[in-house]
């Protein structure tokens, strides 16, 4: 179904049909790349328009918050200086630089500079120290770029702890917020850094990042490096909510290809708001090298992005202030914005918005478009394919309820799979199967060999783990994620079926459905919701609504819980892994209490099991507790109260 309701804001359009994609493929993709590496690609872009603004940064969301601009000439200089500073610190091809930073201009300098010198490894700073250290150990990073002490931030303490735990790190670069502050605020930041705890290791050099850049030349790489397309440019970790994160390797070709294709699919000048974190592949590509390659202006909305104080409440005013043309986000962001009135803000500069990273409920899209009066386009991709595999065409004609057309030169097919997880044939149009991608954007593999087991449908074809189908015109329809399916007694339930229904309730802001363990059915569907501001409703009323609104009887949740806040990942996606653990704790506690056992249940991540339930109870109840929980498809460790406390410590 085509939609033309927003034609008045039509912008220059990229390919609109599969025929347009096929026509673009008449030219080899290599001919579309000025360079098959991120550094030279950036240099070409900066040389094309040196005086244009590349970055604009605001430290706060207030209407009068100071802004700082970086033009393309300066961007090239800073990235080159960063590369030379890393080179001076001993970083070469094959050596990793860990970035533990919020969203700052320096994050771009470090990210692209590390790729020019060696390998960039941006890490989610909200992970626990143990998880960050595990990524550093796996990548054997030799340098860490960390955020200096700042009020309300724990990043410096985390960085110090990581340095002391990870012997591979030899140099600690410090990025301060002080250059973006003034008066007493700047003095406070400088004092905090001067008195901050330092790593206990005497062999680690500590260098101010800004001073290191100023000491380096800005016109060329001192290393004289010659890039090969297959050189590893970056490590992006995935997951991390259960067990150890997987570390995906990106080649320079992967990132350069997607950066070039982004400009093909979304042509023209673009002022794009950056609210997603730069440690995430979407932030790094769509508001990073992809935006720079296309000559866009990137507006960085505070160090915390969408999580920054006042950013979402003031969002429409920020659009007006910067005359933004577009922005990208995840469904929870658009659900929040859909409930925020414009309050007189002039957002006529906006042409479209992009949603990715998680399935978009149709009701959320409808509510957002009513408020913003712009089309909300969906895209689809994954870290393992350098962020983008499909984009809904950015024209006045779009295919509703799809995630668009595949990138030129990247193949995308729907596969039937056999019992070993390998491709057993292609699905017909309209037939649901496993989505596979193949092309210049598909990564070489994970850093740990064991993580690469079962990820290839056939040589070159990545198993995305997502389910969907292609229609007759080549548009991709997502139907679910294999690992998110709730399997109730052998019956597959798509959680989106439940979530879409609950989003139709006028009081519901966010909804997420997961499977909770059950002795007989294996899993039963449960739902967690948060309410819109000022709304009140009882869980029983929501259950009554679900019984009518959820179209499959087996999919009606057995329980709905109303939360004060939804568990979210660092990029704003609903953290379903945490909700699954919450559901396990609920069931185990209920089973034990129903059998007269007083117990504490905590479900936590575990490197070996992914997640495990720790149950503490009296010694005389332990055998019965093990018997009661042993039949569930979820690992449990039954301990005495003292043992459980010792385990936590």
522 & 591 share domain: no
**Is 566 contained in some domain?**
yes
Considering only residues 334 and 254, tell me which one the structure prediction assigns the higher pLDDT.
254
**Is 632 contained in some domain?**
yes
- Predicted confidence band of residue 490 (pLDDT cuts 50, 70, 90): low
pLDDT(241) > 50: no
**Is 292 contained in some domain?**
no
Here the CATH number for the domain that contains residue 568 is: 3.30.300.30
489 & 566 share domain: yes
539 & 505 share domain: yes
pLDDT attached to residue 359: 66
What whole-number distance in Å separates Cα of residue 15 and Cα of residue 408? 9
pLDDT attached to residue 123: 95
pLDDT(196) > 60: yes
Residue of 219, 250, 253 whose CA lies nearest to 35: 253
**Is 87 contained in some domain?**
no
**Is 497 contained in some domain?**
yes
Give residue-wise pLDDT tens across range 278-310: 998 999 999 999 999 999 999 999 999 998 999
pLDDT attached to residue 316: 96
Question: Whole domain around residue 564: which residue ranges?
Answer: 485-574
What whole-number distance in Å separates Cα of residue 649 and Cα of residue 73? 51
Mean pLDDT value across the chain: 89
What whole-number distance in Å separates Cα of residue 110 and Cα of residue 81? 9
Are 108 and 88 spatial neighbours (Cβ–Cβ below 8 Å)?
no
pLDDT attached to residue 46: 97
205 SS3 class: strand
Q: What percent of the chain has pLDDT over 90?
A: 64
The beta-carbon contacts of 642-649 under 8 Å, at least 24 apart in sequence, are 643/616, 644/600, 644/602, 644/614, 644/615, 644/616, 645/616, 647/614, 648/602, 648/614
**Is 402 contained in some domain?**
no
pLDDT attached to residue 235: 97
Considering only residues 533 and 356, tell me which one the structure prediction assigns the higher pLDDT.
533
Mean pLDDT, residues 371-376: 90
Token code pair at residue 343: 């309050």
**Is 616 contained in some domain?**
yes
What whole-number distance in Å separates Cα of residue 213 and Cα of residue 18? 46
Q: In 10 A of CB 61, how many CB atoms?
A: 20
Domain boundary (574, 594, 611) is at: 574
pLDDT attached to residue 9: 54
515 & 549 share domain: yes
Give residue-wise pLDDT tens across range 45-65: 999 999 999 999 999 999 889
What whole-number distance in Å separates Cα of residue 558 and Cα of residue 547? 10
502 & 570 share domain: yes
Domain boundary (550, 574, 598) is at: 574
Q: How far is CA 303 from the centre of its chain?
A: 16
pLDDT attached to residue 363: 74
Q: Using N-to-C axis directions, what is the helix angle for 38-48 and 105-117, rounded to 10°?
A: 130
**Is 539 contained in some domain?**
yes
564 & 621 share domain: no
What whole-number distance in Å separates Cα of residue 545 and Cα of residue 532? 17
pLDDT attached to residue 1: 47
Are 473 and 506 spatial neighbours (Cβ–Cβ below 8 Å)?
no
pLDDT(442) > 90: yes
pLDDT(12) > 70: no
pLDDT attached to residue 552: 77
552 & 513 share domain: yes
pLDDT(176) > 50: yes
546 & 586 share domain: no
Domains in the chain, number: 2
494 & 560 share domain: yes
Considering only residues 633 and 87, tell me which one the structure prediction assigns the higher pLDDT.
87
Domain boundary (574, 600, 627) is at: 574
512 & 586 share domain: no
pLDDT(642) > 70: no
Q: Where are the beta strands (DSSP E) in 559-643?
A: 559-562, 599-606, 610-617, 636-639
Q: Where are the beta strands (DSSP E) in 176-285?
A: 205-208, 232-238, 246-251, 271-274
Task: Report phi then psi at 406, rounded to 5.
Answer: -65, 155
503 & 557 share domain: yes
Token code pair at residue 336: 């929040």
- Predicted confidence band of residue 569 (pLDDT cuts 50, 70, 90): confident
What whole-number distance in Å separates Cα of residue 386 and Cα of residue 378? 16
Give residue-wise pLDDT tens across range 335-368: 889 889 999 999 999 998 998 766 677 777 888 9
Q: End-to-end alpha-carbon separation of the chain, Å? A: 56
Q: In 10 A of CB 345, how many CB atoms?
A: 16
Lowest mean pLDDT among 123-132, 319-328, 503-512, 599-608: 599-608
Q: What percent of the chain has pLDDT over 70?
A: 92
- Predicted confidence band of residue 4 (pLDDT cuts 50, 70, 90): very low
What whole-number distance in Å separates Cα of residue 348 and Cα of residue 618? 65
pTM: 0.79
180 SS3 class: helix
Give residue-wise pLDDT tens across range 396-425: 566 777 889 999 999 999 998 887 778 889
pLDDT attached to residue 289: 97
Are 404 and 377 spatial neighbours (Cβ–Cβ below 8 Å)?
yes
Task: Report phi then psi at 52, rounded to 5.
Answer: -75, 150
Mean pLDDT, residues 427-453: 93
536 & 506 share domain: yes
Most confident range (mean pLDDT) of 367-371, 416-420, 596-600 is 596-600
Give residue-wise pLDDT tens across range 116-167: 999 999 998 988 898 899 999 999 999 999 999 999 899 999 999 999 999 9
pLDDT attached to residue 14: 78
């Amino acid at each position: 179904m085509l939609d033309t309701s927003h034609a008045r804001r039509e912008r220059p359009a990229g390919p609109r049909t599969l025929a347009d994609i096929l026509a673009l493929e008449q030219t080899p993709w290599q001919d579309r790349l000025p360079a098959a590496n991120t550094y030279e690609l950036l240099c070409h872009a900066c040389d094309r328009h040196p005086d244009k603004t590349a970055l604009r940064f605001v430290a706060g969301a207030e209407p009068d918050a100071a802004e700082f601009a970086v033009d393309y000439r300066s961007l090239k200089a800073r990235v080159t200086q960063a590369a030379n500073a890393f080179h001076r610190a001993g970083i070469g091809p094959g050596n990793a630089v860990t970035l533990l930073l919020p969203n700052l201009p320096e994050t771009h300098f470090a990210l692209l500079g590390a790729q020019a010198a060696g390998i960039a490894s941006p890490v989610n700073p909200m992970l626990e120290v143990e998880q960050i250290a595990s990524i550093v150990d796996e990548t054997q990073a030799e340098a860490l770029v960390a955020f200096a002490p700042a009020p309300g931030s724990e990043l410096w303490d985390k960085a110090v702890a990581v340095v002391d735990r990870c012997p591979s790190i030899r140099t600690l670069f410090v990025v301060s917020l002080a250059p973006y502050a003034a008066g007493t605020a700047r003095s406070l930041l400088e004092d905090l850094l001067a008195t901050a705890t330092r790593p206990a290791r005497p062999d680690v050099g500590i260098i101010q990042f800004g001073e290191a850049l100023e000491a380096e030349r800005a016109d060329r790489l001192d290393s004289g490096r010659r890039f090969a397309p297959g050189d590893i440019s970056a490590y992006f970790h995935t997951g991390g909510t259960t067990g150890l994160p997987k570390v995906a390797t990106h080649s320079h070709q992967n990132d350069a290809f997607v950066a070039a294709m982004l400009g093909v699919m979304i042509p023209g000048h673009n002022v794009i708001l950056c609210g997603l974190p730069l440690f995430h592949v979407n932030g790094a590509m769509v508001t990073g090298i992809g935006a720079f390659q296309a000559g866009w202006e990137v507006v960085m909305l505070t160090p915390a992005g969408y999580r920054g104080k006042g950013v979402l409440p003031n969002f429409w005013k920020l659009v007006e202030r910067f005359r933004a043309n577009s922005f990208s986000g995840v469904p929870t962001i658009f659900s929040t914005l859909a409930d925020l009135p414009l309050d007189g803000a002039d957002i006529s500069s906006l042409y479209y918005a992009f949603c990715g990273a998680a399935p978009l409920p149709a009701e959320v899209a409808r509510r957002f478009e009513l408020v913003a009066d712009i089309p909300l386009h969906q895209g689809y991709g994954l870290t393992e394919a350098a962020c983008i595999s499909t984009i809904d065409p950015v024209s006045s004609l779009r295919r509703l309820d799809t995630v668009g057309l595949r990138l030129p030169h990247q193949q995308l097919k729907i596969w039937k799979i056999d019992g070993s997880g390998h491709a057993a044939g292609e699905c017909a149009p309209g037939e649901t199967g496993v989505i596979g991608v193949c092309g210049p954007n598909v990564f070489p593999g994970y850093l740990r060999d064991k993580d690469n087991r079962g990820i290839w449908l056939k040589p070159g074809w990545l198993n995305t783990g997502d389910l969907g189908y292609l229609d007759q015109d080549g548009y991709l329809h997502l139907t679910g994620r294999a690992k998110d399916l709730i399997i109730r007694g052998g019956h597959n339930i798509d959680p989106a079926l439940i979530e879409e229904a609950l989003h139709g309730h006028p009081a519901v802001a966010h909804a997420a459905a997961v499977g909770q363990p059950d002795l007989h059915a294996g899993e039963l569907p449960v739902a967690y919701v948060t309410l819109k501001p000022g709304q009140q409703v009882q869980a029983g009323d929501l259950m009554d609504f679900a019984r009518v609104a959820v179209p499959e009887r087996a999919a009606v949740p057995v329980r709905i819980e109303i939360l004060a806040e939804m568990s979210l990942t660092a990029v704003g996606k609903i953290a379903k892994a945490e909700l699954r653990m919450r559901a396990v704790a609920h069931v185990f506690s209920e089973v034990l209490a129903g059998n007269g056992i007083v117990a504490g249940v905590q479900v936590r991540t575990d490197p070996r099991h992914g997640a495990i339930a720790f149950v503490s109870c009296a010694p005389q109840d332990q055998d019965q507790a093990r018997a009661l929980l042993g039949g569930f498809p979820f690992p449990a460790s039954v301990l005495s109260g003292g043992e459980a406390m010792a385990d936590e410590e």
